[in-house]
Amino acid sequence: MTSQNVRKLAFGIVILMLVVTSVFVTRGNAGSGFSYDVPRMLGMDTGAGEGLIQVQAPPTTDIKGPFVETHGKAVSMDRDLRNLPQNGPDQKRPLREMGQMPAPADNGALDPVIQTSESLGEAIALAAPSALTNFKGLDLQNWGAGWPPDTHGDVGPNHYIQAVNTSIGIFDKATGTRLAAFTFDNFFIAAGGSGVCATYNQGDPIVVYDQISGRWIITDFAFTSVNKPPYYECIAVSKTADPVSGGWWLYTLTADTLSLNDYPKLGIWNDGIYMSANMFKRGRSYAGAKVWALNRDDLISGAPLRTVAFTLGTTYFSLLPANLKGALAPAGTPEYFMSDYGSNTSMKLWKFAVNWTTPTSSTFTGPTSFAVASFTRPTSRVPQLNSTETLDTLGDRLMSWLQYRNINGVQSLWVSRTVVAGTSMGLRWMEVRNMSTTPVVYQQGTYAPDANYRWMPSLAVDKFGNMAIGYSVSSSTMYPAIRYAGRLVADPLNTLGQTEISLIEGTGSQSGGYSRWGDYSSMSVDPVDDCTFWFTTEYYETTSNNWQTRIGSFQYPGCQ
């Protein structure tokens, strides 16, 4: 090879390295950066070629759409769900879904809004209220498909529905009695289905009770193979508020013909149901985020489903759609989406204005950036008692839900995430206002009352503006536990005056070589009284790989 050819080859390698770097690094503040690790994030086997990632192009910021589609009508399923096969999946495996993106190292700076036990005066620090109900949810041995469980749930007039990978459980919310439990596959098979949603449900379940229509919506994604498009979202919509015997509409929505719709999230809004997902081309290279508006009238009637979608460039990641509870947003208010990816001092807000009369006139605008107190994303994992296995935090993103409240005309968005808190991890929560113009953080804090690790949070807000946040707690001297804390609307701003209380203390740790935990939890508010909080997440009864889940409720005094 001539020297000229050598120089050309070297130059080509440099260009290739620059392209790779531009795709797999998103620059944040002060030179911080994050690298994509797609095979690990998707739970893929990195042997036998699975570790190869196809790099397509540098990060982009473009928004494309609207993409207007009408999908097939729903299949009607009118069986009593207690008559379905009451058994879980046959196989257990690490699941192909999002893990945690690597994050920049801790810069050693003290969190400016940290709340420790010493920083909150004893005069206003009261323990959060004890649980009103506290019962077992689904577990791995009987109902799970693998690790992590992706525990999620919501509460309705008479029931609590919980979903894990890859089963659904329906509980009497007054007694905790499990009324029915079945796999996603058997749920869709019961309607006579034989397609991908009847045979290839893969997880990432979400449960919402839509207070506007009085219907339940349960979703997860499906695909025949992680690197074989197309990719689907399986959507079940109850025909009444009775999820057991009231009947269901079952949709198979083609989410994308090329990219896997990973980590999908749902939000309820005035004019529809909204969804977001992180898209991976053929399940490998990150292709940006995608957002959808789903037509509520179609969903609750079983009609062919109209959707409007937009795609975002690869600079953006893990957008959460706002989830409305209580009073509706003012007429004409667009749906909000939020993400904090790429910065540790700001967040981004988008607005989705759907037009169901002229769908091609729908818009998705943003992002608008606004300042937050600086934080550090976790780079380490969570230790446990009597186990060498450490646990993932998913500390690279906001955690569900992004809760919307309109209380006496004051609109707000509430959200939480995991951050570094000294030598461990704490819970960053915030309330955002003024979304219609320039968003501003009205209050925020990092809850870290001691040296234990707190992570995997989810929060909700009741009709008076009281907030509750549930999460996991662990350290090298304790088993992972489920706890919650919160604040009353009259508490000093930026503080959780309702301090930590336990829903259940774990009596075992996760073992067996599995680091996955979460990937999320769920705090919601009862639609009947708009006061009672319900929380679900995972824990362990014995040191093993058989995760358990818990469902509990509580209420602040004076909220009726």
What's the domain range around 331? Answer: 36-44+57-93+109-554
pLDDT digits (tens, 9 = 90+) for 453-463: 999 999 999 99
pLDDT digits (tens, 9 = 90+) for 219-278: 999 999 999 999 999 999 999 999 999 999 999 999 999 999 999 999 999 999 999 999
Supply the pLDDT for residue 191: 83
- Total length of the chain: 560
Supply the pLDDT for residue 90: 85
Supply the pLDDT for residue 52: 34
Supply the pLDDT for residue 15: 36
Supply the pLDDT for residue 99: 41
Report whether pLDDT(16) > 50: no
- Is 99 domain-assigned? no
d(CA 58, CA 22): 5
- Is 297 domain-assigned? yes
d(CA 384, CA 391): 8
pLDDT digits (tens, 9 = 90+) for 401-451: 999 999 999 999 999 999 999 999 999 999 999 999 999 999 999 999 999
- Is 219 domain-assigned? yes
d(CA 554, CA 560): 12
Question: 3-class SS at 540?
Answer: coil
Mean pLDDT score across all residues of the chain: 89
Supply the pLDDT for residue 108: 58
- Is 51 domain-assigned? no
- Is 338 domain-assigned? yes
Band of pLDDT at residue 12, cut at 50, 70 and 90: very low
Q: Which residue has the higher pLDDT, 76 or 95?
A: 76
- Is 155 domain-assigned? yes
pLDDT more than 90, % of the chain: 81
- Is 195 domain-assigned? yes
Model-level pTM? Answer: 0.90
pLDDT digits (tens, 9 = 90+) for 491-531: 999 999 999 999 999 999 999 999 999 999 999 999 999 99
Band of pLDDT at residue 57, cut at 50, 70 and 90: low
d(CA 376, CA 419): 6
Query: What is the average per-residue pLDDT within 206-224?
Result: 98
DSSP label at 255?
E
Task: Kindly report the backbone phi and psi dihedral angles of residue 251, in degrees, each rounded to the nearest multiple of 5, phi listed first.
Answer: -110, 145
Band of pLDDT at residue 120, cut at 50, 70 and 90: low
Domain at 128, CATH number? 2.130.10.10
Query: What is the average per-residue pLDDT within 160-174?
Result: 98
User: Is residue 518 within 8 Å of residue 526, measured between CB atoms?
Assistant: no
Q: Which residues pair with 406 in a beta bridge?
A: 411
Q: Which sign does the torsion angle of CA 55, 58, 61, 67 carry?
A: negative
- Is 12 domain-assigned? no
Q: In the chain, how many domains are there?
A: 1
pLDDT digits (tens, 9 = 90+) for 354-372: 999 999 999 999 999 999 9
